[in-house]
Amino acid sequence: MIEIRTLASGSAGNCYWISDGKSPLLIECGIRFTDIRQGCGFKLSELAGCLVTHEHQDHCKAAKDIMKAGIDIYMTNGTAQALDLTGHRVKIIKAGKQFNVGAWKVMPFEAEHDAAEPVGFLAQSGDEKLLYLTDSYYCRYKFKGLNYIMIECNYSLPELNANIAAGVIPSALKNRIRRSHFSLENVKEFLLANDMSRVREIHLIHISKDNGDPAAFRREIRRLTGKPVYTH
């Protein structure tokens, strides 16, 4: 069984702790290092590594502190260059090329976002598979045998349109949001296109506080899939 713990999720910062019982990992480090230490129970030395999807600060704010703590950080060359990160703790990865972190086998795959070289992650330990996809308005890939899905559900189109009409969200931001983030409608399409037969849990992450409704999203995805759904 894979354990998933959310330290932070959303535009203010993203950081997730996952463990297969042998090799705990961080996915993203977009919050204060002190909060990461606390969220990990002050056991950073147990971490096998930290995976980072792209260079936006809500996903990598504590990258330098993570490295200073002696933890390897995994990111694409485009992300490392955008952050001007170098050193032996920076492990350069590439979409489509699997790498190992502790007991995990991780396959990065291309994401669609306004960043230098963004990726998502398919992480496997033993027979357990976890998919992590955020900050992408589209996913061109399909996956088999998933057990855990962590997927961005940033907004719903009706909610976004209503907020624009009410003046809560500037209309100029609409295209940026739609071309950089996964919507509820995208999530539904993605889940229906993929093999859900072995899925145990679906985690909806990076939900917008203005354009998202966690309770409604949870109900809709549970109704669609029949799987346990959690919002973060």
Question: What are 145-187's pLDDT values in tens digits?
Answer: 999 999 999 999 888 778 778 877 777 676 777 777 899 999 9
Cα distance between residue 109 and residue 160, in whole Å: 28
Residue 35, SS3 per DSSP: helix
pLDDT attached to residue 166? 81
**What local confidence, expressed as pLDDT, does residue 5 receive?**
97
Which CATH superfamily groups domain 3-231? Ribonuclease Z/Hydroxyacylglutathione hydrolase-like (3.60.15.10)
Interstrand relation of 25-27 and 49-51 (parallel, antiparallel or unpaired): parallel
State the pLDDT at residue 109.
Answer: 98
Low-confidence residues in the chain, pLDDT < 50: none
The neighbour count for residue 210, using CB atoms within 10 Å, is 11
Is residue 84 helix, strand or coil?
coil
pLDDT confidence of residue 84: 97
Domain ranges of the chain: 3-231
Burial group, residue 105, by CB count within 10 angstroms (0-12, 13-18, 19+):
middle
